[in-house]
Amino acid sequence: MDDARILFLAYVSSFVDRQVIGLLVEPIKADFQISDTEVSLLLGLSFAIFYCLVALPIGRLVDTKSRKNIVAVGITLWSFMTAMCGLAQNYAQLFLARIGVGVGEATLGPAAYSMLADTFPPKKLGFSMGILIWAPLWVLALSLIIGGSVISFVTANESGRTILFGIEFLAGWQWVFILVGLPGLLIAALAALIKEPRRIISATENADGENPVPSMR
């Protein structure tokens, strides 16, 4: 598969895993008996603050380490932690799992943009970047469709647990996390096969990789 398509799939996976919790608020509230404030912290703070904090050091790693490995590890982490959301037995465990999703997804942006910049020639770079930036707009809608489809697939019985292939097990919302998270591990395996693009020396750098133009560090 084309390397750019793998990165695109990774973006699709990241937004589905990030947004699907929005479909599951009511059953989570009912199972864990949590308040609206706790729900808002679960949806926003648990993900966003660690996503932002981790993105900065990840950006520095992207400059010096293997970007495809960073992407592969990040996809593995957020996919695994999404599945772990489905195994959470209380609010604290679910909150920690959401933090893990945010940390994992923080790796994708810096690495993907850097790889695209070194993969496409300048005349095609704008278009490829545009596709990646545009992706979240329709992936947001796609994530709701996928999540809704998974919810309808795992129907709950009278006890509130799910019957999947005749087996009574977890609650419906827990299965949703597991079933949308695990496919990301396949995308992580594909990401590990990406050919690391050669880093292009910019016009402001000399042959030794030194940048004579002051920049923020």
Dihedral sign of CA atoms 128, 140, 75, 114 in order: positive
Q: What is the mean pLDDT of residues 13-34?
A: 89
pLDDT tens string 69-113:
999 999 999 999 999 999 999 999 999 999 999 999 999 989 988
What's residue 195's pLDDT? Answer: 87
Q: What is the mean pLDDT of residues 114-120?
A: 80
Residue 187 Cα to chain centre, angstroms: 11
Dihedral sign of CA atoms 214, 51, 150, 40 in order: negative
What's residue 158's pLDDT? Answer: 45
What is the band of 28 on the pLDDT scale with cuts at 50, 70, 90? very high
Q: What is the mean pLDDT of residues 59-73?
A: 92
**Is residue 131 scored above 50 in pLDDT?**
yes
Q: How far apart are CA 185 and CA 191, in angstroms?
A: 10
Q: Where are the domains of the chain?
A: 3-191
pLDDT tens string 132-156:
666 666 666 766 676 667 666 665 5
What's residue 67's pLDDT? Answer: 92
Higher pLDDT, 118 or 203: 118
Give residue 215's identity as a one-letter amino acid code. S
pTM, entire model: 0.80
What is the band of 115 on the pLDDT scale with cuts at 50, 70, 90? confident
CB-CB contact of 167 with 48 (8 Å): no
Q: Does domain 3-191 fall into CATH 3.40.1160.10?
A: no
**Is residue 117 scored above 70 in pLDDT?**
yes
**Is residue 204 scored above 90 in pLDDT?**
no
Mean pLDDT, the chain, whole residue set: 81
- Cβ neighbours of residue 9 under 8 Å, at least 6 residues apart? 187, 190
**Number of neighbours of residue 19 by Cβ within 10 angstroms:** 20
What's residue 124's pLDDT? Answer: 67
